[in-house]
Amino acid sequence: MAWKTLDDMQLAGKRVLTRVDVNVPVADGVVTDDTRIQRILPTVRDILAAGGKPILMAHFGRPKGKVVPEMSLRVVVPALSKALGCEVKFADGNYGAAVDALAEGEVLLLENLRFNPGEEKNDPEFAARLATLGDIYCNDAFSAAHRAHASTEALARLLPACAGRLMQAELSALEGALGTPKRPVMAVVGGAKVSTKLELLGNLVEKVDHLVIGGGMANTFLAAQGIDVGKSLAEHEMTDTARDILAKAKAANCNVILPSDVVVAREFAANAANETVAADACPADAMILDAGPETVATIAEALANSKTLIWNGPLGAFEIQPFDAATNAAAKQAAELSRAGKLISVAGGGDTVAALNKADAAKDFTYISTAGGAFLEWMEGKTLPGVAALEG
């Protein structure tokens, strides 16, 4: 780890510019889900405990460099104050005056950084202005680390910089899963389209021992092998690419697990009449909506023999029963193995988190990333500007 943490910094009496992600859902002026707020609390509390002054910087929505009143961060102040158990002050216009007035033990939230066009342009002048407000820079927003913005990239190079607790946990988990993992490593990649996960698959086949491909993506891989997938969701124009990925996996000695049996139905609806057939026996008028029990058993065997799991995307149409069976079974087993200390499990992506929560498995995974795009880009092997800036 080339980056520093809060433990490496002298925080007493220092103004700590802290980039956070509080881009939370709001309805009728009230925060409806404070998960992201809860996840930054350890960082804010540790800065306060060390005698530092947390100055929180964040974005909210996409105002595109203009002041949009309904995208003001003021709306999150009550929820943030309640979660921290203390009043959070707010700086809407004059950042400097608000920072100067900040006393020890107080927390300040700056207005939406994206109201300034310099934020998304990674403007050095805007970053320099922000730098005058603090003595130390702390990035606790891994979810924004794939963006080279003034508050995530340029600012980190102007002040002594470190990772906050959430960023530290995220980077440690991902480094453990893909950088220097315990082997064998298994990856589960699902979802609708191969085209959105090309770079991910290309990177993973060279780094993991077992690769499970599920969801609509699996149908494209089946079609690439000359199998008729009926009316299933599939990208037939991507079959050459799928064959290339399979060839690359074979060369890298990566075991690719595709469905050997599938659950098919004539309509995409909850509790639709369905049957389980061999993967190469999908009726012409049916669609594949889940992996079958034989495939689940193959996945279970690979899981039992793995030490590290990376999961992104469901194995079937997990939103509707009974086509959530494969996802639920694999998730429950991964959770069990993780709970028993036999598996390091890291998962991320919106659909993934929803699927694991639905299976009541998320709480036992080693680490769940809520970062979305940044998590995906890390898995693709890309350098994240916000992380690279911390490494100096």
- Structural domains of the chain, with CATH: 6-166 (3.40.50.1260), 181-379 (3.40.50.1260)
Q: Tell me: is residue 15 an annotated ligand-binding position.
A: no
The yes-or-no verdict on residue 71 having pLDDT over 90 is yes
Q: Is the peptide bond before 181 cis (omega within 30 degrees of 0)?
A: no
Cα distances (Å, whole numbers) of residue 229 to 71, 216, 236: 45, 10, 10
pLDDT at residue number 309: 97
Q: Tell me: is residue 19 an annotated ligand-binding position.
A: no
Q: What is the pTM of this model?
A: 0.87
Q: Tell me: is residue 350 an annotated ligand-binding position.
A: yes
Q: Where are the beta strands (DSSP E) in 88-176?
A: 88-91, 107-110, 136-139, 161-163
Q: Tell me: is residue 116 an annotated ligand-binding position.
A: no
Residue (of 287, 316, 314) closest to 229 by Cα position: 287
Residue 132 to residue 129: CA distance in whole angstroms: 5
Which residues have a Cβ under 8 Å from the Cβ of 27 and sit 6 or more positions away?
A: none
Residue (of 52, 28, 26, 56) closest to 40 by Cα position: 56
Cα distances (Å, whole numbers) of residue 190 to 12, 96, 157, 220, 257: 47, 47, 37, 12, 12
Top pLDDT among 116 and 1 is at 116
Top pLDDT among 330 and 377 is at 330
Q: Tell me: is residue 21 an annotated ligand-binding position.
A: yes
The yes-or-no verdict on residue 175 having pLDDT over 90 is no
- Backbone φ and ψ for 361, nearest 5 degrees, come out as -115, -20
Annotated catalytic residue, options 36, 39, 53, 165 = 36
What average pLDDT score do residues 157-182 get? Answer: 92
Instruction: Report DSSP state, residue 5.
Output: B
Residue (of 211, 210, 379) closest to 305 by Cα position: 210
Q: Going by DSSP bridges, is the β-strand pair 136-139/274-278 parallel, antiparallel, or unpaired?
A: unpaired
The H-or-E segment that residue 389 falls in is helix 385-390
How far from each other are the two terminal CA atoms of the chain, in whole angstroms? 12
Annotated catalytic residue, options 157, 193, 266, 358 = 193
pLDDT at residue number 297: 98
Q: Tell me: is residue 206 an annotated ligand-binding position.
A: no
pLDDT tens profile 120-152: 999 999 999 999 999 999 999 999 999 999 999
Residue 85 to residue 44: CA distance in whole angstroms: 12
The answer to whether 51 and 13 are in contact (CB under 8 A) is yes
Residue 217 to residue 45: CA distance in whole angstroms: 43
Annotated catalytic residue, options 176, 202, 373, 381 = 373
Residue 36 to residue 164: CA distance in whole angstroms: 14
The yes-or-no verdict on residue 168 having pLDDT over 70 is yes
In which band, very low, low, confident or very high, does the pLDDT at 350 lie, cut at 50, 70 and 90? confident
pLDDT at residue number 1: 58
The yes-or-no verdict on residue 98 having pLDDT over 70 is yes
pLDDT tens profile 3-58: 999 999 999 999 999 999 999 999 999 999 998 999 999 999 999 999 999 999 99
The yes-or-no verdict on residue 378 having pLDDT over 90 is no
Which residues have a Cβ under 8 Å from the Cβ of 117 and sit 6 or more positions away?
A: 64, 65, 66, 123
pLDDT tens profile 198-243: 889 999 999 999 999 999 999 999 999 999 999 999 999 999 999 9
Q: Where are the beta strands (DSSP E) in 182-293?
A: 185-189, 210-213, 255-257, 261-265, 274-278, 287-291
Residue 31 to residue 102: CA distance in whole angstroms: 25
What average pLDDT score do residues 78-88 get? Answer: 96
Q: Tell me: is residue 339 an annotated ligand-binding position.
A: no
Residue 68, token pair as written in the block: 């949009």
pLDDT at residue number 178: 83
Residue 38, token pair as written in the block: 């809860």
Indicate if 193 belongs to the active site. yes
Annotated catalytic residue, options 96, 179, 350, 392 = 350
In which band, very low, low, confident or very high, does the pLDDT at 376 lie, cut at 50, 70 and 90? confident
pLDDT at residue number 14: 98
Residue 206 to residue 249: CA distance in whole angstroms: 7
Instruction: Report DSSP state, residue 90.
Output: E
In which band, very low, low, confident or very high, does the pLDDT at 268 lie, cut at 50, 70 and 90? very high
pLDDT at residue number 316: 96
Rounded to whole angstroms, the maximal C-alpha distance in the chain is: 71
Q: Tell me: is residue 61 an annotated ligand-binding position.
A: yes
